[in-house]
């Protein structure tokens, strides 16, 4: 017998895997911030690591149970948002790029949590 949820499982799996990878990168980033950066660079990297770790753990925990499209869309926005937000801060430190994508990333994080909350209230 075919599992009716088998088609959505890969979509949830990449969100959970992405979350786990974000958390792993956050640990490495935090270590680099603590031992290889100083001043404003250190603060930026710690902020990036904080957001990446928290949202990575949330994605890894929430994605397996996200059965409906609205919840999955919210989690996808979280993944994209943290990549833009934290990535912008990291590239500022490592490559002197501007942090112009950080506000968009933050907005996507807020939107992702709102979508996830709306889906949770619909249950």
**Domain that includes residue 80, residue range:** 9-122
Encoded tokens for 14? 């990449």
Asked whether residue 1 is assigned to any structural domain, the reply reads no
Asked whether residue 30 is assigned to any structural domain, the reply reads yes
Q: What domain count does the chain have? A: 1
Q: Is 37 left (phi over 0), alpha (psi -120 to 50) or beta?
A: beta
Encoded tokens for 117? 């909350």
Q: Enter the pTM of the model.
A: 0.88
Asked whether residue 2 is assigned to any structural domain, the reply reads no
61-84 average pLDDT score:
94
Q: What is the pLDDT of residues 16-69, one digit of tens each?
A: 999 999 999 999 999 999 999 999 999 999 999 999 999 999 999 999 999 889
Asked whether residue 85 is assigned to any structural domain, the reply reads yes
- The rounded mean pLDDT for the chain is 92
Report the C-alpha dihedral over residues 86, 90, 92, 96, rounded to 10 degrees: -150
Q: What is the pLDDT of residues 37-50, one digit of tens each?
A: 999 999 999 999 99
């Amino acid at each position: 017998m075919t599992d009716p949820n088998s088609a959505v499982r890969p979509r949830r799996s990449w969100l959970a895997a992405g979350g786990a990878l974000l958390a792993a990168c956050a640990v490495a980033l935090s270590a680099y911030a603590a031992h290889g950066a100083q001043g404003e660079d250190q603060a930026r990297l710690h902020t990036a690591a904080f957001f990446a770790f928290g949202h990575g753990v949330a994605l890894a925990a929430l994605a397996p149970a996200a059965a409906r499209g609205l919840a999955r869309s919210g989690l996808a926005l979280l993944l994209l948002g943290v990549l833009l937000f934290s990535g912008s801060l990291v590239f500022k430190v490592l490559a002197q790029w501007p942090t112009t994508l950080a506000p968009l990333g933050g907005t996507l994080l807020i939107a992702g949590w709102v979508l996830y909350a709306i889906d949770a209230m619909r249950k």
